[in-house]
Amino acid sequence: MSDWRAEDGALSVILPTLNEEENIIPMLDAVLSLYPRARIIVVDDSSTDGTQEKVLAYSRSNPRVSLIERDPGDKGLTASIMDGLVMTETPYFAVLDADFQHPPEAIGDLIDEIEKGNDLVVGVRNDRRKLPFARKISSWGAHRMASAYLRFKGQPGSKDTMSGFFSGRTDVCRKTILEHFGKFERQGFKALFDLLKFAPRDLKVSEVGFEFGERRGGTSKLNSKTVLSIMNQCGIVGKGLAIATSFFLLSMLGRFVTAFILGLFTTLLFLTMTGQPWRNIEVFPMILSFLLAIGYVVISNEFLSGKRRGNGLIRGIKIVFTAFTGFLINLGLFYAIATELPEFQIMPMFLGFGIAASYDTLGCIMHSD
Ligand code: GDD
Ligand code: MN
């Protein structure tokens, strides 16, 4: 193709949407002013705000824009992208979020890479520092795991397997989708990872860096279920890890049990390491005080700092407050029940309890973000 920008019918931009009424019209305007010859396919999953009405009204006066209204019983970001790709009639496509986190200006860079002979071009996020803490670790963990899985399977990989911004040759990607239709994680968030998993091994993949922006309006739809669904995509090992993570890290009971064992075990370890002569007799009060104090931390975290309760500093203060009062309860109970007053136990208990409280806080934040 000589110049895709000047050619009619070279590029389709696929925009998956779920309640994006604040962003969709500015996004359509932005894409069309940058690439006036492109077509746009909005794939909407029964948004309950005005997204669909807005797109329909827009498409009436602008035939380059079309709307796919998906079956409400088959919701899913990956399923939406698959549908968009199956409906694409142009040789090139680009998928990007409708909330401006993926800059429409960068679509051109991705398509230029396809013109150089690549089949799939991934938009790699340059600056992920702005992501919230929990999101950063889950994104990193999910990427590591997905990469290892792809390498193990001998499949092509990418520096950012979790990216939602990519483009490619429609024929190659559509063939992959149609041949492996049932194996895609349709409810998942990571259509790119599915594509890499099932693409031909000799797929030519290229990458282009971009600045990952802030969402313009509305809210994100990503949550811990999404992260679990990525693990579920990574074979039997991944499925096992998903079950373990959802119990040990995300469920309240699992966090309680794990934090308790972790806290008690590390305390005993620190006591031993510092050569302190703790005797069997002190273990029972320690177990009891840990049980109650960890229970307090798990419940307070759940209700004070979990589920998007406050942001940044306020949340940080609540977390430290919970952990510290938990430690005082632990210590108070221990000394109330223990027959002697072995003062030397404070430091190991402080450390052990701190580890347990941090573990619970981490799980609590992960399951809420
Ligand atoms: N059709 C459809 N169905 N669209 C959806 C759905 C769905 O179930 N869920 C979300 N979307 C749309 C949103 O409207 C938005 O346009 C885009 O998909 C991304 O959704 P966000 O809710 O903004 O996701 P995010 O910003 O948290 O996640 C982004 O970054 C991830 C990497 O950290 C996305 O780009 C992900 O694909 C990406 O993996
Ligand atoms: Mn977003």
| Nearest atom, ligand 1, residue 98 CA | 16
Q: Tell me, yes or no, whether 68 and 190 share the same domain.
A: yes
Q: 364 CA distance to ligand 1 centroid (A)?
A: 22
Q: Does residue 38 lie in a domain region?
A: yes
Split into its structural domains, the chain has a count of 2
pLDDT for residue 105:
96
Report the share of the chain in percent with pLDDT over 70.
94
Contact (Cβ atoms closer than 8 angstroms) between residue 172 and residue 219: no
Q: Does residue 270 lie in a domain region?
A: yes
Q: Tell me, yes or no, whether 159 and 260 share the same domain.
A: no
Bridge partners (DSSP) listed for residue 67: 42
Q: Tell me, yes or no, whether 301 and 346 share the same domain.
A: yes
Which pairs count as long-range contacts for 318-325, CB under 8 Å and 24+ apart, including other chains?
319/361, 322/297, 322/357, 322/361, 323/297, 323/353, 323/354, 323/357, 323/358, 323/361, 325/296, 325/300
Q: What angle do CA 145, 146, 147 make, to 5 degrees?
A: 90
Q: Does residue 238 lie in a domain region?
A: no
pTM, full prediction: 0.80
Give CA–CA dist 154/151, Å, rounded: 5
Q: Is the pLDDT of residue 158 over 80?
A: yes
Give CA–CA dist 235/237, Å, rounded: 6
User: Could you tell me the strand order of the sheet in which 11-17 lies?
Assistant: 65-69, 39-44, 11-17, 92-95, 166-169, 120-125, 205-210
Q: Does residue 323 lie in a domain region?
A: yes
| Nearest atom, ligand 1, residue 76 CA | 8
Q: Tell me, yes or no, whether 193 and 135 share the same domain.
A: yes
- Categorize the per-residue pLDDT at 222 as very low, low, confident or very high, splitting at 50, 70 and 90: confident
Q: Three-class SS of residue 218?
A: coil
| Nearest atom, ligand 1, residue 162 CA | 39
Atom 7 (ligand 1) nearest CA: 77
Q: Which ligand is nearest to the CA of 14?
A: 1
- Categorize the per-residue pLDDT at 366 as very low, low, confident or very high, splitting at 50, 70 and 90: confident
Give CA–CA dist 278/268, Å, rounded: 9
Residues 137-153 have a mean pLDDT of: 89
Atom 13 (ligand 1) nearest CA: 17
Q: Is the CB of 76 under 6 A from ligand 1?
A: yes
DSSP string, 194-227: HHHHHS-TT--EEEEEE------SS-----HHHH
Q: Tell me, yes or no, whether 103 and 65 share the same domain.
A: yes
pLDDT for residue 229:
81
Atom 30 (ligand 1) nearest CA: 164
Atom 17 (ligand 1) nearest CA: 97
Q: Tell me, yes or no, whether 136 and 208 share the same domain.
A: yes
Residues 219-244 have a mean pLDDT of: 82
Give CA–CA dist 98/293, Å, rounded: 45
Question: 278 is written with which tokens?
Answer: 């703790």
Q: Which of 110-119, 189-198, 210-219, 234-243 shows the lowest per-residue confidence on average (mean pLDDT)?
A: 210-219
Domain of 105 in residue numbering reads as 4-232
What's the burial of 257, exposed, middle or buried (CB within 10 Å: 0-12/13-18/19+)? middle
Q: 190 CA distance to ligand 2 centroid (A)?
A: 13
CA nearest neighbour of 292 among 342, 359, 337: 337
The domain boundary, picked from 232, 259, 286, lies at 232
pLDDT tens sequence across 159-184: 999 999 999 999 999 999 999 999 99
Higher pLDDT, 316 or 66: 66
pLDDT for residue 309:
62
Atom 15 (ligand 1) nearest CA: 97
Give CA–CA dist 151/144, Å, rounded: 11
Q: Tell me, yes or no, whether 57 and 177 share the same domain.
A: yes
Q: Is the pLDDT of residue 307 over 80?
A: no
Q: Is the pLDDT of residue 27 over 60?
A: yes
Residues 88-94 have a mean pLDDT of: 97
Higher pLDDT, 360 or 345: 360
Q: Is the pLDDT of residue 216 over 90?
A: no
CATH of the domain at 97: 3.90.550.10
| Nearest atom, ligand 1, residue 212 CA | 30
Q: Which of 66-80, 301-315, 350-364 shows the lowest per-residue confidence on average (mean pLDDT)?
A: 301-315
Q: Does residue 239 lie in a domain region?
A: no
Query: Which amino acid appears at position 149 of this protein?
Result: Y
Question: 230 is written with which tokens?
Answer: 């990525």
Q: Is the pLDDT of residue 285 over 70?
A: yes
Q: Which of 212-226, 264-278, 283-297 shows the lowest per-residue confidence on average (mean pLDDT)?
A: 212-226
Q: Is the CB of 97 under 6 A from ligand 1?
A: yes
Residues 249-253 have a mean pLDDT of: 89
pLDDT for residue 135:
76
The domain boundary, picked from 202, 232, 262, lies at 232
- Categorize the per-residue pLDDT at 18 as very low, low, confident or very high, splitting at 50, 70 and 90: very high
Q: Tell me, yes or no, whether 174 and 88 share the same domain.
A: yes
Q: Is the CB of 128 under 6 A from ligand 1?
A: no
Q: Is the pLDDT of residue 369 over 60?
A: no
Residue identified by tokens 């559509």 is 174
Q: Tell me, yes or no, whether 11 and 69 share the same domain.
A: yes
pLDDT for residue 265:
94
Q: Which ligand is nearest to the CA of 220?
A: 1
Q: Does residue 240 lie in a domain region?
A: no
The domain boundary, picked from 199, 232, 265, lies at 232
Q: Does residue 128 lie in a domain region?
A: yes
Q: Tell me, yes or no, whether 331 and 225 share the same domain.
A: no
Contact (Cβ atoms closer than 8 angstroms) between residue 189 and residue 224: no
Give CA–CA dist 34/102, Å, rounded: 14
How distant, in Å, are the alpha carbons of 3, 265, 274, 331, 333 from that of 339?
84, 21, 22, 14, 12
Q: Tell me, yes or no, whether 175 and 267 share the same domain.
A: no
Q: Is the pLDDT of residue 49 over 60?
A: yes
Q: Does residue 244 lie in a domain region?
A: no
Q: Tell me, yes or no, whether 24 and 76 share the same domain.
A: yes
